[in-house]
Amino acid sequence: MLTFYYARNTCALASHIALEHTGAEYQAVRVDFAKSQQNSQDYLRFNPKGRVPTLVTPRGSLTETPAILQFICQTFPQSGLAPLDDPFELARMNAFNSYLCSTVHVAHAHRLRGSRWADDLAAIANMKKKVPETMAACFDLIEREFIQGPWVLGEQYSVSDMYLFTLAQWLEGDGVDIRRFPKVSQHSLRMTQKPVVTRVMMAEQSAI
């Protein structure tokens, strides 16, 4: 039995969609950031970073979206959510996921989490002001170089699509019009038409 910890409107959505897609037996537990549950001792014993997502497995806890996504793909290979039989394509998938994690997510975080990098209020304000530019630059690159077809990897639907869809949901709040990126915009539309995506998003928003 797997236990998945998530919070609303976070990168955890990608892993949540992946779990649901596989048909895995799991329990989804909402972490309420408004109540600072991510800093509770009960939660920190699973994830000492105090962030989401966290996937608790029989062998221990996993954190960080790229790692959780690969674990899901390899644990449920029948789901076909990764090119597990092609080392190059698998590495390409992980390279894209790593870019989303290390660069795109960090650019977004400067809008709401500037205090992670600076104490000076003016510096924090400048970081926030820069977010529309940096996020647009990230998605310009994704639009030009990384979407190879209807899906990130071309014809194969993968966890990279779930991850890209999740981060693309942040563009409006970051002051970027997704319509600037036709491929990304169409990709997001295709994702919203998948019943599993709709089901997970509705479950996250309605969870107490």
pLDDT digits (tens, 9 = 90+) for 93-129: 999 999 999 999 999 999 999 999 999 999 999 999 9
CATH top-level class for 87-194?
A: mainly alpha
Bridge partners of 62?
Answer: 55
pTM for the full predicted model: 0.97
44-99 tens-digit pLDDT: 999 999 999 999 999 999 999 999 999 999 999 999 999 999 999 999 999 999 99
Task: Give the pLDDT of residue 208.
Answer: 74
10-40 tens-digit pLDDT: 999 999 999 999 999 999 999 999 999 999 9
- Give the helix/strand (H/E) hosting 157: none
| Second-level CATH architecture of 2-79+197-206 | 3-Layer(aba) Sandwich (3.40)
149-198 tens-digit pLDDT: 999 999 999 999 999 999 999 999 999 999 999 999 999 999 999 999 99
Task: Give the pLDDT of residue 10.
Answer: 97
Task: Give the pLDDT of residue 131.
Answer: 98
The 3-state secondary structure of 102-148 reads HHHHHHHHHHHCHHHCCCCHHHHHHHHHHHHHHHHHHHHHHHHHHCC
Domain boundaries, the chain: 2-79+197-206, 87-194
